[in-house]
Amino acid sequence: MCGDRWTPDRSAPERGAYDIGGERGAAPTPTTARPPTDPDGPTGRLATWLATTKLEEIPASVRERAAHLVLDGLGCALIGAQLPWSRTAVKAVLDLEGHGDVPVIGWGRTTSGPAAAVLGGTFIQGFELDDYFPSAPLHSAALVLPALLSTTSRVGGVSGGEFLRATVLGCEVGPRVGLALNGPEMLARGWHSGSVFGTHAAAAASGVLRGLDAAAFEDALGLAATQSAGLMAAQYEAMSKRMHHGFASRNGFYAAGLAQAGYTGIKRVFERPYGGFLSTFGEGHDPDAAQIALGLGETWNTEKITVKIHAAMGGLHPAIDAALALTADRTLTAEDVESIRIEVPSVIYHHGWWVPECPLTTIGSQMNIGYATAVALLDGQVRPEQFTPARLNADDVWQLIGRTEVREVNEPHDPSWEQPGYNTRLTIALRGGDLRTQALNQPHGGLDDPLTNAEIRAKYRALTAQVIDADRSAEIERIVLDLEGQADLDRLVDLLAAPARGALD
């Protein structure tokens, strides 16, 4: 022993003593279960929990919700696979990576595992319809599912139960790292928060399927942390915003694979005072390392993940819901509206508002609270059809945007806003003197009003009806909602791999 720090037993097999080979086969298992360097620290406690948590230790309600999150993510992937910007991504990535043995969702083609993870995350994020975690902003399905599907194709022999366990553990890790980093602060400072702390979610999920022990999980977390990145200025016009979570998913996939092969990562990555994950990314906003392992196995973040019903950035959903509520009794035209005022807290203001200029890109419109509120008021919905070129350039939409004022408000307007949340107030002045106001702290789908599993199934069916045939959609749904009964996932992979239609064609 060196002080009270654990040092490896040099008589034990080295990290590389796995039967990793190069062939597709059963997930390898370490010959000796080794502890992390500091089992009592936050990194060590998380690594140990990942290595030892069994499926039956996860509550049934969490497993059921996780299966529905998988279904929602796959529905988003299928509708996102053949979008115009996704086609550009596929051409570019396959030109760079070439062929491989891992299917590309919705394309009938294969590529390398890392490339498939990049594209899968890009598809799931393709139309701003995927899940998010409000208090530590990230999109779990876009991080976890692509890494898992690539890992499944590489290691083979993965049961549905193992896939579900890996999904839950990945969904638990991402929010924990984000909470430790005070994730909304990251967003306010211009980081794309989910791709910064999403690498850990993907690494954890992939590592479960690879059978990592606690020491290897520590390496995987360290390798994931050093690959974290993402700039939020991509939201204005860059296609790359769609790919950020795909990059993070790929990086987590790499981290787990490298760790399994014995390639070491940063030890105690969440505790390091110099060059550690929290000390570096959290500079200036008081990161809290205790959040990493707080309530492991007792508090389940998976049940707190928000599922979207609107095709827009999550922070805009309360304004959209407010617009729909204010117009439930009538249909509006641009001529009916004299002015629009939207009041939001700092994070949403900086993330979701700038004065847009026509023409606005699809990604810009889906991130801009002025555009999203305008089409909600005029069309009564915010779905893919609100982001066609014709609608993006429509005169009535731009008339409303020109009458919109967005205010950054840091003080709550009423006692109900003393709790943290979205704290959005929408006021519309109609011609003739009618003034309508609606304030919301949470959208439908948020913690106070979550989508039911039945609503998630309905969303999946509505999305997939646009891009694949009904029998294929139903079979995917059947398999996903019965993951624990699936001996392997070959059928699901085949169903996902077949070509899909373009949602905007």
> pLDDT digit string (tens) for 354-408?
999 998 999 999 999 999 999 999 999 999 889 999 999 999 999 999 999 999 9
Give backbone dihedrals phi and psi of 183, rounded to 5 degrees, phi first.
Answer: -50, -45
Distance between CA atoms of 209 and 166, rounded to whole angstroms? 7
User: Sign of dihedral through CA atoms 178, 182, 186, 187?
Assistant: positive
Predicted local confidence at residue 447, as pLDDT: 87
Predicted local confidence at residue 20, as pLDDT: 33
Give backbone dihedrals phi and psi of 231, rounded to 5 degrees, phi first.
Answer: -110, 130
Q: Which residue has the higher pLDDT, 439 or 25?
A: 439
| Residue 420 reports pLDDT greater than 70 | no
The angle that helices 490-497 and 140-155 make with each other, rounded to 10 degrees, is 120
Give Dmax over CA atoms of the chain in angstroms.
84
| Residue 4 reports pLDDT greater than 80 | no
Predicted local confidence at residue 321, as pLDDT: 97
| Residue 80 reports pLDDT greater than 70 | yes
The b/e string for 150-177 (b: 16+ C-beta within 10 A; e otherwise) is bbbbbbeebbbbbbbbbbbbbbbbbbbb
- Average of pLDDT values for 1-5? 39
| Residue 145 reports pLDDT greater than 90 | yes
103-142 confidence digits (pLDDT tens): 999 999 999 999 999 999 999 999 999 999 999 999 999 9
Question: In sequence order, what are the beta bridge partners of 438?
Answer: 426
Predicted local confidence at residue 10, as pLDDT: 30
Task: Name the percent of the chain lying above pLDDT 90.
Answer: 87
Give backbone dihedrals phi and psi of 437, rounded to 5 degrees, phi first.
Answer: -135, 140
CA angle 209, 211, 215 (to 5 degrees): 130
How far, CA to CA in Å, does 331 sit from each of 63, 99, 157, 177, 327? 41, 51, 54, 44, 6
Mean pLDDT for the chain overall: 92
Count of C-beta atoms within a 10 Å radius of residue 491 = 13
Distance between CA atoms of 125 and 166, rounded to whole angstroms? 20
- Average of pLDDT values for 134-156? 96
| Residue 411 reports pLDDT greater than 90 | no
| Residue 14 reports pLDDT greater than 90 | no
Distance between CA atoms of 215 and 217, rounded to whole angstroms? 5
Predicted local confidence at residue 307, as pLDDT: 97
Give backbone dihedrals phi and psi of 322, rounded to 5 degrees, phi first.
Answer: -65, -40
pLDDT band at 418 (very low <50, low <70, confident <90, very high): very low
Predicted local confidence at residue 152, as pLDDT: 98
Predicted local confidence at residue 295, as pLDDT: 97
CB 140 within 8 A of CB 201: yes
Distance between CA atoms of 115 and 156, rounded to whole angstroms? 18
Predicted local confidence at residue 23, as pLDDT: 42
Count of C-beta atoms within a 10 Å radius of residue 410 = 8
Predicted local confidence at residue 422, as pLDDT: 86
- Average of pLDDT values for 268-278? 97
| Residue 416 reports pLDDT greater than 50 | no
Count of C-beta atoms within a 10 Å radius of residue 464 = 23
3-state DSSP call for residue 350?
helix
Predicted local confidence at residue 9, as pLDDT: 36
**Whether residue 356 has a cis bond before it, omega within 30° of 0:** no
pLDDT band at 8 (very low <50, low <70, confident <90, very high): very low
CA atoms within 13 A on the CB side of 307: 26
Distance between CA atoms of 6 and 383, rounded to whole angstroms? 54
End-to-end CA distance of the chain, in Å? 65
- Average of pLDDT values for 206-229? 98
| Residue 6 reports pLDDT greater than 60 | no
